[in-house]
């Protein structure tokens, strides 16, 4: 198995000399916990934007960008986990 730490002259992480193996269950639990925390933080952020943002156009744009970028990042995380597990 290829590991970047095995390259000659790589002194970036000299203490790492093996690949990391993470099981499906651990990745699933980490993803779910992350999504729960992310959801709570997002709810608080949306509440404050709506409560104190005075319903301006900038708040609507910020919410739209936040949702689109969040969806893209979550999609990429799920695809990355799926690729890693195969």
Length of the chain: 86
CA distance 51 to 44: 10
Residue 22's alpha-carbon distances to 14, 28, 49, 54, 67, in angstroms, are 21, 10, 38, 46, 29
> Angle at CA 42, nearest 5°, toward 63 and 84?
105
Is 19 in a helix, a strand, or coil? coil
Helix (H) or strand (E) holding 44: helix 24-52
**Mean pLDDT score of the chain:** 80
Q: Is the pLDDT of residue 49 over 90?
A: no
- pLDDT of the residue at 10: 54
Is 10 in a helix, a strand, or coil? coil
Confidence of residue 2 (pLDDT cuts 50, 70, 90): very low
- pLDDT of the residue at 75: 93
Say what percent of the chain tops pLDDT 90. Answer: 29
């Amino acid at each position: 198995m290829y590991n970047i730490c095995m390259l000659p002259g790589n002194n970036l992480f000299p203490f790492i000399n093996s690949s990391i193996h993470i099981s499906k269950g651990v990745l699933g639990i980490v993803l779910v916990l992350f999504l729960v925390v992310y959801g709570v933080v997002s709810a608080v952020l949306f509440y404050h934007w709506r409560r104190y943002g005075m319903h301006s156009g900038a708040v609507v744009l910020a919410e739209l960008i936040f949702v689109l970028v969040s969806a893209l990042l979550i999609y990429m995380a799920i695809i990355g986990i799926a690729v890693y597990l195969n």
